């Protein structure tokens, strides 16, 4: 999961057009499948065997982030000659599903938390609860909001390795030039700042945006106390007042510039993971992004004078200060994996506090285990304290874990984009979402 995709997977469809060890004979496993004795090569964690098990591990990270995970794989392989892991950077998650349904899955894989329940309920992921109980893994050590993305109806389908939240980043120099001595605290101030910090030439051509208007509707829906699903009534609620308010916020900013001007402007923006990132290059005065961004700034724009602030809150509802959306990156064992016992050993090791801290610190992510929070490795991670403090907010929410979450987010994203571009009205667009998704609530 190369970084931007980690949190932006939740909003990927929103941006479509906006930019874009058991042993023993015939043992029974958590998924109900059988495994013959000896299929793990007869090796223990630290034993050696000429018939070592080789595990295929598909992960979604690339570049320096992929290098960080390969470093941990090498550390495991050096200590576990009987179970050797071979990593493959594979960020096409549809290929994961195709491999699973085709009967040739990897032994371990990474995914995004919002995909866990749909995949788990459809049989693509092994439940891990028997392994968790067998090895006494302390689930109480995990941040509840992060763990909830991997669980459904008392079953755990994955283990979250990293937690992602967003905050507001701002260019201190640009704000100072405009007469602002600090970041916007409320949504009202956010709108004021966005307009004042944008540079628009005659004819509407944009030179700089205060903030990209196609904002994460999930984060701002929670800022407005929004809800996407009423579990008790079993009703999807894309037309909830808080969700509507979030879309109206983006729409009000979008309409100040127009789709043609925004499309022209976005077509000239640089790559996200580079010095030409629009926030790094000054094309955006502010941006809403995740905990990994300070690490990218350190790599690509070390001289950028920036600050990190909470997501602006609704001034009419101050109890909703510090709102946001929680997403996760997870590891899971695909259904049909050839060596599930060995796979679990590696998965369990990767998500222990020491390895979790080493990995998430390298990526600038937040760990999902509270016992990892105080690991000294985070002392050198820029922005870690700000995001760790923010992650304790009671106003952080996760998109509802349901079997139809993928379809819901896809359709919501399509209609959100259409609403912003004016090709459909707010009420009609949200009704389309409800009419398409509600029949899936079974």
- Rounded to two decimals, the pTM is 0.83
Q: Can you give 300-311 as a three-state secondary structure string?
A: HCCCCCEEEECC
Q: What integer pLDDT is reported at residue 20 of this predicted model?
A: 35
- With beta carbons less than 8 A apart as the criterion, state whether 120 and 157 touch: yes
**SS3 at position 439:** helix
Measure the CA–CA gap between 107 and 224, rounded to whole angstroms. 42
Helices (H) and strands (E) in the chain, counts: 17, 19
CA 417 centroid distance within chain: 20
Residues in the chain with pLDDT values less than 50: 2-48
Measure the CA–CA gap between 133 and 22, rounded to whole angstroms. 13
Q: What integer pLDDT is reported at residue 305 of this predicted model?
A: 98
Q: What integer pLDDT is reported at residue 49 of this predicted model?
A: 52
Write the DSSP assignment of 315-342 as a string of letters.
Answer: TT-GGG-S-EE-EEEEEE-BTT-S-HHH
Nearest to 54 by CA among 30, 73, 26: 73
Q: What integer pLDDT is reported at residue 92 of this predicted model?
A: 86
Residue 211, number of CB atoms within 10 A of its CB? 24
Nearest to 306 by CA among 183, 177, 186, 179: 183
Measure the CA–CA gap between 289 and 76, rounded to whole angstroms. 32
- With beta carbons less than 8 A apart as the criterion, state whether 326 and 163 touch: yes
Q: What integer pLDDT is reported at residue 307 of this predicted model?
A: 98
Measure the CA–CA gap between 333 and 96, rounded to whole angstroms. 11
- With beta carbons less than 8 A apart as the criterion, state whether 152 and 117 touch: yes
Measure the CA–CA gap between 71 and 4, rounded to whole angstroms. 21
> Running DSSP on this structure, what letter comes out for residue 437?
H
Measure the CA–CA gap between 1 and 416, rounded to whole angstroms. 25
In terms of C-beta distances under 8 Å and separation of at least 24 residues, what long-range contacts does 351-355 make, across chains too? 351/159, 351/160, 351/161, 353/141, 355/72, 355/75
Nearest to 287 by CA among 314, 306, 313, 305: 306
């Amino acid at each position: 999961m190369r970084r931007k995709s980690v949190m932006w997977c939740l909003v990927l469809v929103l941006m479509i057009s906006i930019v874009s060890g058991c042993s023993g004979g015939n043992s029974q496993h958590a998924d109900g499948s059988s495994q013959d004795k000896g299929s793990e090569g007869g090796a223990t964690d630290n034993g050696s065997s000429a018939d070592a098990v080789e595990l295929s591990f598909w992960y979604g990270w690339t570049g320096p982030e992929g290098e960080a995970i390969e470093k941990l794989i090498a550390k495991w392989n050096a200590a576990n000659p009987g179970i050797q892991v071979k990593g493959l950077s594979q960020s096409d998650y549809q290929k994961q599903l195709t491999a699973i349904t085709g009967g040739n899955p990897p032994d371990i894989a990474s995914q995004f938390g919002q995909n866990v329940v749909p995949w788990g309920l459809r049989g693509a992921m092994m439940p891990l609860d028997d392994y968790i109980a067998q090895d006494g893994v302390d689930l109480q050590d995990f941040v509840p909001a992060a763990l909830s993305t991997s669980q459904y109806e008392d079953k755990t389908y994955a283990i979250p390795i990293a937690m992602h939240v967003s905050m507001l980043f701002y260019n201190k120099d640009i704000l100072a030039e405009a007469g602002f001595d600090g970041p916007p605290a409320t949504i009202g101030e956010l709108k004021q700042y966005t307009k004042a910090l944008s540079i628009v030439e005659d004819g509407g051509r944009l030179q700089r945006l205060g903030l990209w208007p196609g904002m994460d509707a999930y984060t701002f829906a929670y800022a407005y106390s929004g809800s996407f699903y009423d579990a008790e009534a079993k009703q999807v609620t894309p037309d909830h007042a808080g969700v509507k308010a979030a879309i109206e916020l983006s729409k009000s900013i979008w309409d100040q510039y127009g789709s043609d001007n925004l499309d022209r402007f976005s077509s000239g923006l640089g790559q996200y993971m580079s010095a030409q990132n629009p926030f790094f290059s000054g094309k955006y005065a502010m941006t809403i992004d995740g905990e990994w961004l300070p690490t990218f700034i350190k790599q690509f724009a070390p001289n950028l004078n920036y600050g990190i602030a909470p997501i602006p809150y609704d001034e009419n509802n101050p109890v909703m200060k510090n709102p946001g959306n929680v997403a996760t990156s997870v590891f899971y064992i695909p259904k049909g994996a050839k060596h599930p016992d060995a796979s679990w050993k590696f998965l369990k090791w990767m998500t222990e506090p020491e390895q979790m801290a080493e990995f998430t610190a390298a990526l600038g992510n937040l760990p999902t285990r509270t016992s990892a929070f105080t690991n000294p490795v985070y002392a050198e991670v820029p922005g870690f304290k700000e995001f760790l403090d923010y992650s304790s907010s009671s106003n952080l929410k996760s998109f509802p874990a349901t079997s139809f979450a993928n379809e819901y987010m896809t359709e919501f994203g399509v209609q959100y984009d259409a609403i912003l571009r004016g090709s459909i009205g707010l009420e009609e667009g949200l009704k389309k979402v409800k009419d398409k998704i509600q029949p899936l609530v079974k």
